Structure 1
Amino acid sequence: MTTIVSTHQLSKYYSGVCRVDKVNMTVYEGDIYGFLGPNGAGKSTTLKMLLGLSKPTNGDVKIFGKNFNKNRQSILSKTGSLIESPSYYGHLTGLENMRIMQRLRNVPQKNIDEVLHIIRLENQKDKQVKHYSLGMKQRLGIAMALINFPKLLILDEPTNGLDPNGIREIRELIKSLPHRYGITVLISTHLLSEVEQMATSVGIIDNGNLLFQGSMDLLQKKSETCICIKSLNNTLARKILTANNYTFLPQVKDDFIAFRSINDNQIANINKLLVDSNIKVTRIEEHRKSLEDIFLELTGRERSL
């Protein structure tokens, strides 16, 4: 696989405080890389260093296989970005803002028309941006980032300010970019649901540390399935199961007896054993960790995203 973005020991300190700590990130061609973490985790700082908006304290950045410091102009010419919030001239229309970006990027008029259509702003293009809603301004920022149809698109919290329908539209747009335009996408977010629905690979960052990096399939494998059984007398059920050499997880959740890695025959045998012992089984359920559970486990503490 071709590597589009790679960092080595990337670090950033502000006033002696570490915000990004020795991050080794790898984004492959065609990826939708979900950069996930709570607010203040170091996501925006990392993305700024990838774009040269912030100078790393330590470490290296390579994009398209080239050292960023030595190939800044050629790299940025093939990169689109939206960091934190869109920049625009409020007294100009959406179309006039796009024409300024067109001149800066040296792209044809057809790019403006296509991008405005993709982002669903063609009917609002003649309206002054200061009269746009927050969601429309966000979409304009994404349109500006897409105007040159870059090889790499970096988006920092792109669904901020969008209503549920707008979030769904942007999600579907992002999912279409790799195969439709050959664009690799690096997107930061604190929304677990968005990562689950559109990312092909993920990096989880907290307190500046990259805690996990890999494919979504690899992350989902951390979500071990367990079989949970509830009865009318769990205390006695546990004693009987222990006496018959069955092992179950020590933690109790919602008063279930939880088993890991057991097959259908074992489940049936456990159920028969309990029923034959005059213990009424009320539920047998399959439980799987959510992405949020995995995140909390990785960070080692419960905190809201």
Structure 2
Amino acid sequence: MSQIIKTNSLSKRYGSVYRVKAVNLDVQEGDIYGFLGPNGAGKSTTLKMILGLAKPTEGQVSVFGKEFEQNRGFILSQTGSLIEAPSYYGHLTGLENLRVVQKLREVPDKNVKEVLSIVRLINQKDKKVSQYSLGMKQRLGIAMALLSFPKLLILDEPTNGLDPSGIGEIRELIKSLPSRYGMTVLISSHLLSEIEQIATTLGIINDGTLGFQGSLKKLQEMGSSEFTIKTRDNQSALALLKYHGFLADLQGEELIIGRNLREEQVVQANRLLVSEEIGVYRIEEHKKNLESIFLDMTGKEQTL
């Protein structure tokens, strides 16, 4: 596999405020790279710099192994994108809008028919886009990005305005692109629940800084786990465990005996309780789910 996108200390500053600071993205060929973060975290600004729509204050962008500034024409000819909101001519039909892009991209008629089918706009292709719903406009934007079946597809919040059925269809479409068309996909979202169903690699950005980059499994491994015990006499159990060095605490009807304990430590705690004839009803391990880990990384006060 080859590296499709690489950024080196990519930064964007407005005045004295950094919207993106020293971001090092690594997107490999065939990846579905989920770029996650709360609204305003710097996702769109980063994608704009990768596409040359915004000039970095500092840092470099490399796409297909080539520096962007010296190879802008080649890189953009191999890239499709939808950033923030679709661009279209409202007085033209969906088909006419695609014809405009077709001429610019110099692609055959069969591509137009195929993307209309992919995004379910065949029956609305002759309708003026000004009369489209928000979801239909979003699907048209995705069709435009797909029209040349590029090697790299960059989608910024592509499910905005779509109903649950439409979200599911776009999700399945994106999952099929690497194997079906050989595309690499970089997709941004503030919805972890959507990204975790399709992404092979994740990048999490908050306040302009990349806090995590790697696989879902790697992210899950970052989450702490805790063990809880329910006994016949929690007060006595609490005193005993504390005496033997456990960081135990009583919450409701259960004891929390520590985070990220080894299995042997859990066995030791159980043995201590049994040896003192304190009946143990149950022992449970609770691991943080991905959403909890994401909230910890991006700030629980933020709205997702």
2:169 maps to a residue whose letter is E
Count residues in correspondence. 303
Aligned equivalents of 2:99, 2:114: Cα separation in 1:
13
- 2:73 counterpart residue number: 73
**What are the residue-to-residue correspondences of 1:224-239 with 2, within 5 Å?**
224-231=224-231, 233-239=233-239
Residues 92-122 of structure 1 deviation map (CA, whole Å, 9 limit, x = unaligned): 1111111111111100011111111111111
Pair 1:145 & 2:145 matched: yes
Q: Secondary structure at the match of 1:80?
A: strand
Residues 44-71 of structure 1 deviation map (CA, whole Å, 9 limit, x = unaligned): 0000000011111111100000000000
Aligned equivalents of 1:167, 1:134: Cα separation in 2:
13
The Cα shift of 1:241 comes to 2.4
Closer, same or farther in 2 for the Cα pair 1:94/1:256, shift >3 Å?
A: farther
Q: Secondary structure at the match of 1:71?
A: helix
Aligned equivalents of 1:152, 1:253: Cα separation in 2:
52
CA contact (8 A) 2:227 2:285 kept: yes
TM-score (norm 2): 0.91
- 2:189 counterpart residue number: 189
- 2:58 counterpart residue number: 58
2:70 maps to a residue whose letter is K
CA contact (8 A) 2:234 2:253 kept: no
Root mean square deviation, CA, Å = 2.3
- 2:18 counterpart residue number: 18
CA contact (8 A) 1:79 1:153 kept: yes
* Greater mean deviation of Cα atoms: 294-303 or 88-97: 294-303
The Cα shift of 1:234 comes to 3.1
Residues 138-194 of structure 1 deviation map (CA, whole Å, 9 limit, x = unaligned): 011001000001111000001111111111111111111111111101011100111
Residues 218-264 of structure 1 deviation map (CA, whole Å, 9 limit, x = unaligned): 11211244332234543322222234x4634669698541443343x
Pair 1:284 & 2:283 matched: yes
- 1:91 counterpart residue number: 91
**What are the residue-to-residue correspondences of 1:1-305 with 2, within 5 Å?**
1-231=1-231, 233-243=233-243, 245=244, 247-248=246-247, 255-259=254-258, 260-263=260-263, 267=266, 270-271=269-270, 273-274=272-273, 277=276, 279=278, 281-299=280-298, 302-305=301-304
Q: Secondary structure at the match of 1:166?
A: helix
* Greater mean deviation of Cα atoms: 114-123 or 47-56: 114-123
The Cα shift of 1:298 comes to 2.7
Aligned equivalents of 1:70, 1:52: Cα separation in 2:
11
Aligned equivalents of 1:275, 1:165: Cα separation in 2:
53
**Percent of residue pairs identical:** 62
Aligned equivalents of 1:240, 1:158: Cα separation in 2:
55
Q: Secondary structure at the match of 2:229?
A: strand
1:16 maps to a residue whose letter is S
CA contact (8 A) 2:246 2:257 kept: no
Q: Secondary structure at the match of 2:70?
A: coil
Closer, same or farther in 2 for the Cα pair 1:44/1:251, shift >3 Å?
A: farther
Aligned equivalents of 1:5, 1:251: Cα separation in 2:
49
Aligned equivalents of 1:211, 1:120: Cα separation in 2:
37
Q: Which runs of 5 or more structure 1 residues have no equivalent in the other structure?
A: none
Closer, same or farther in 2 for the Cα pair 1:66/1:155, shift >3 Å?
A: same
Aligned equivalents of 2:143, 2:251: Cα separation in 1:
50
Q: Which runs of 5 or more structure 2 residues have no equivalent in the other structure?
A: none
1:174 maps to a residue whose letter is I
